[in-house]
Amino acid sequence: MGFIGNLIQFTWVTVVLFELTAAAVEFPIALPNCTDSCGGVEIPYPFGLREGCYLNHYFSVSCTTNSLGKTQLVIPDDVIITNISLQGQIDISMYIAHDCYDEQGVPDDNNSNNASLNLSRIFTVSNTQNKFVVVGCDTYAYLNGYQPDNEFYSTGCSSQCESTRYIVDGSCSGVACCALDLPIGLRDITITSNSFYNHTKVWSFNPCGHAFIIKNGTFTFSVDSLRSLRDKEEMPMVFDWAIGNEDIENKSSYICGGNSTHIDSDNGPGYRCKCNDGYHGNPYLPHGCQDIDECINSDNCKGRGKKCLNILGNFTCSCIEGYHWDRSAGVDLCVINQPSLQVKLFVGVGISFIVVLVCSSWLYLIVKQRKLIKLKQRFFEQNGGLILQQKLSKQENSTAIAKIFTEEELQKATNNYDETLIIGRGGFGTVYKGILPDNRIVAIKKSKTVDENQVEQFINEVLVLSQINHRNVVKLLGCCLETQVPLLVYEFIPNGTLFEYIHHESQASTISWETLLRIAAETAEALSYLHFAASPPIIHRDVKSSNILLDSTHTAKVSDFGASRLVPLDQTQLATMVQGTLGYLDPEYMQTSQLTEKSDVYSFGVVLVELLTGKKALSFDRPEEERSLAIYFISFLKDNKLFEILEKHIAKEGKAEHLREVANLAKRCLSLKGEDRPTMKEVATELEGLRKVEMHSWVNVDSNSEETQFLLGETSDSYKYSASSKSTNVYDSVRDHVIFDLDDGR
């Protein structure tokens, strides 16, 4: 033939293989231009929706829409098809036969029926995929139909029981449930269910009898079936189908397409088509089945040096380049070819290059690691790490006060600061949720900036805050100083903030007034502790509902000390840059820059008003006269309209006199002059007294005034704060500037 002829022949073979491969990928199931699915059910030929798409009228199906708007594939008599298999099965939904009675044994015609199904002669009830099942404690049922040659067939079974005592779930042996195998070639079926005693003896737990044909593995009998089956209308069932029948079949005109063969039906007359080995697709289509690429299966031609080559209907194995067949041991193996001198030289040079590359990379990593260690050490010293270590060494129990975490520990705890672990953002930094090696869940605060000139003060604050051990203050566990900006590690509080529970619509009314009053009392107790029990005293400076966390029992936890200041023991106020959140800021502090404990009292008063009204401290969405909640609330109190501004469920749950007490307390906290405000210790005492009154419903405020006064603490006159002590001004270079947070004002 010559070289040119061989080349042309090879080209044509390649084109044919390419076309066959492309066709094999598609595997069509229907004739061209015919719909191949309906309602999620595939419609393979010989079935079809219209003439020209099905083999003959026996295989005609319809695509309909039910009353609920759901698309369904059906055959005559509106029988729903759920699956059509090219292996000769069709799944349908078959009716259940019911036989129901009322308590007096009168037949319930509305819930009783027989079940029958007469399909074309190509369909027979699958004897391998189905069972005939009867369920009931006073039931017998019949299954009638026809076998090949129109021979009548009838069978039945009964199930009885007088109680549920001996019923075994999953068993259909005759006690409340019986099951029978089906014969070959059964069609045109009718199912009837009957009763021995009209269910009068078992009506309390079994008012009906049921009979049905069910697909194997889709129904498991239980005691509940005695009642639940009453509400079911259909059960899954399987029919076998075949092409033609013995009466009309022309043995010389099989319709099976290419690369397929015919096989006789094993459930009645007719035949089915089947793809030859190595082929896949719809064997009923004219072009038949397509070749399967066996080389996709990794188990074919498995072994070192072997490769798979797909051929029509099969595959063959060969050796890849550099290997050759070795059949000396009686087993086909691919053995590597011995390399030449040039190849060995090339391999040697390559290995040498890899060794040099690995060594260079190793040295580079060592240098980089040393630079990283030096950088961490510089950050550690810059952030006051040496000062903190020195101070901790002087403490008797330094490990219980504050721990110095490494950067690696916190990176691992937060999955390298994964954004999905962010649980909060604020004006002073970002908070991540982390898990320590001992499985403790913590909150890790990554600040935005730090003043290098106030490192020693920062270290002192870390030491003081870490020593605070109060049930209503979030515990500071330690810090990390190896990063450019220090990281603070706090205990994790899982239940969100008070702000969320007050202002989110889904949670606004889920906390009772009694719980809100307890949260207020606990918050006041925590602030009182910071002002009077901590040494030195601590002014929080950013008290707001979003800085009050709630644990799993809704216990209040004061958090976020990013703006807090320590008060020297010889001073009562500090001159400082104004910081805080608009809506909560003490107006006297904003005007004078003089920070005192009474600034926290004012902010707490705003939180009390939030609890009472369910409104935000500041909202630009409200009219101008209502934007500041504090001013708006005071105006309502002056007009004696307290109950018009209270949140609905608070006004409904709380006692009027107690609500007025809390409102008046909030009013005193919101006094424009700090000297007119009570201390946090006095606020905490009064709130705790109110809590005790709430918990003891037997207290009558009018008749037990002395006891009530004892529970509430001193009278309001005792809340007047002495202004005799003079402030000691501390120089602050940014005194005339203001930093504040809008805190969701819009």
Contact 124, 185 (CB under 8 A): yes
CA distance 677 to 337: 95
Strand-pairing partners, residue 173, are 178
Length of the chain (residues)? 746
Strand-pairing partners, residue 585, are none
CA distance 48 to 35: 8
The encoded tokens of residue 303 equal 């072994």
Q: Which residues contact 417 (CB under 8 A, 6 or more apart)?
A: 411, 432, 446
Contact 24, 293 (CB under 8 A): yes
302 is in an annotated binding site: no
CA distance 203 to 103: 6
Give Cα separations from 297 to 23, 240, 291, 627 (angstroms): 19, 32, 14, 71
Contact 527, 606 (CB under 8 A): no
The encoded tokens of residue 263 equal 């096989």
Contact 278, 307 (CB under 8 A): no
Q: Which residues contact 544 (CB under 8 A, 6 or more apart)?
A: 499, 581, 583, 584, 603, 606, 607, 617, 743
Phi then psi for residue 545, to 5 deg, are -65, -30
Strand-pairing partners, residue 72, are 64
Q: Interior CA angle at 404 toward 401 and 410, to 5°?
A: 125
Q: Can you spell out the DSSP letters for 368-422?
A: HHHHHHHHHHHHHHHTTHHHHHHHHHHSTTHHHH-EE--HHHHHHHTTTT-GGGE
The set of catalytic residues is 542
**What is the distance, to the nearest Å, from the Cα of residue 297 to the centroid of all Cα atoms in its chain?**
36
Annotated binding site: 446
Annotated binding site for ATP: 446
